[in-house]
Chain A
Amino acid sequence: MKTTAKLGIAILVLAILTPLALFSSAYFKAGPGWGEGELTKGPKLWKALFPNYTFRGWENKGLLYSGLSYAVSAVIGIAFCLAAALLLTRLLTRKKR
């Protein structure tokens, strides 16, 4: 198997494991990144698809739900990253072909 394919599979495995990070943060009662959680004022400029990697309406349904939406968000994010990066590099290197 090509290395890039192996790395791709590894990234998908990582995506499925992301809820572990969420669970351990909850277990150790650790909040968001330093300085990121305190301010709530200020205008909302943009409505994210799934704020904080959580499906809308699943915010208070418990860890299992947030874990599931976290992992699905990871997979969706990976798909967007691959598509955006491939599209961008294709546009940039178009003349070479």
Chain B
Amino acid sequence: MHIPDGYLGPGTCAFFYAVMLPIWLVASRMVKKALKITQVPLLAIGAAFSFVIMMFNIPIPGGTTGHATGGVLVAILIGPWAACIAVTVALVLQALLYGDGGLTAIGANCFNMAFVLVFTGYYVYRFISGNSPINSRRRVAAAGIAAYLALTIAAFFTGVEFGLQPLLYHTSGGTAFYAPYSLKVAVSAMVGEHILVFSWVEAIVTALVIKYLQKQDPALLSGGI
């Protein structure tokens, strides 16, 4: 899901940087205003967790690989704004240190994984959890379903971004300058492989960690900003 350099046209890259800029500003302000000192290590651990879980590329035999992001779990623990910052830190470092995701595509990659995914996951979790007790099974299920939906929707957005490129940037003869796949192909590939494989991994990881924390340290599950 990490879009490399050269796959999105300059306008698309600029657009997503422009979209992310105010989101990053609000997220910084929220962290500044509402993050408790005790939550600071959790934000840092969230960034590190997101970083390392994204390295677990799961193979589709003979095909491509994909991965979970940990973003929904981080959002449940520290809230979506702080999670946006945490996942952004992971994505920027992946691009800078390891070339995983392009520098020009950081806006788009952060939009998909640090904004769409994190906020969708957080609010689906909150909606399904309702007023259920912190240690209820309903919250474990809510976390799993939220993670599944959030990664799938993030994959949909990534597919749309890929798929719009040949429409936006092509020669007069119709040859694509950047990512060459049609909208239909890109969206069905991205959404399909996530529905079948990768979103399940995100769901299982998220639900299991929430279940563990319910026993280990339930206070952590009630403190998001």
Contact = CB atoms under 8 A, between A and B. Distances in A.
A21 to B, nearest CB: 4
Interface string B43-85: 1111111111101111111111111000000000000000001
A71 to B, nearest CB: 9
Contacts of B42: 4
Contacts of A21: 55-58, 67
A72 B117 CA distance: 28
Contact of B55 (A70, A80, A92): A70
A46 to B, nearest CB: 5
Interface in A11-64: 11, 14-15, 18, 20-22, 24-25, 27-39, 41-46, 48-53
Interface size class on chain B is 35 or more
Contact-residue size bin, chain A (C-beta under 8 Å from the other chain): 35 or more
B7 interface: yes
Interface string B16-45: 000000000000100110010100111111
- Chain A interface, >50% SS class: helix
A34 B97 contact: no
A9 to B, nearest CB: 11
A34 B197 CA distance: 13
A49 B99 CA distance: 8
A92 B49 contact: no
A89 B43 contact: yes
B99 A93 contact: no
Interface string A56-97: 000000000000001001101110111011101110110110
B40 A89 contact: yes
Interface centre among B52, B53, B180, B193 (most CB of A within 10 A): B52
B97 A48 contact: yes
Nearest to A37: B64
B52 A30 contact: no
Contact of B98 (A22, A34, A48): A48
Contact of B6 (A18, A22, A28, A41): A41
A33 B47 contact: no
Contact of A30 (B43, B65, B99, B178): B65
B35 A35 contact: no
Contact of A84 (B47, B62, B99): B47
Interface of B: 1-7, 28, 31-32, 35, 37, 40-53, 55-67, 85-86, 89-90, 92-100, 102-104, 162, 178-181, 186, 189-190, 193, 213, 216-217, 220
Closest 7 CB pairs of A and B: A42-B6, A30-B59, A48-B99, A85-B44, A3-B217, A28-B59, A28-B61
Given A21-B58, A31-B64, A82-B45, 17 more contacts: A18-B56, A24-B59, A25-B57, A31-B63, A32-B64, A36-B2, A45-B103, A46-B95, A70-B55, A73-B55, A76-B97, A80-B93, A84-B93, A85-B46, A85-B48, A88-B85, A92-B28
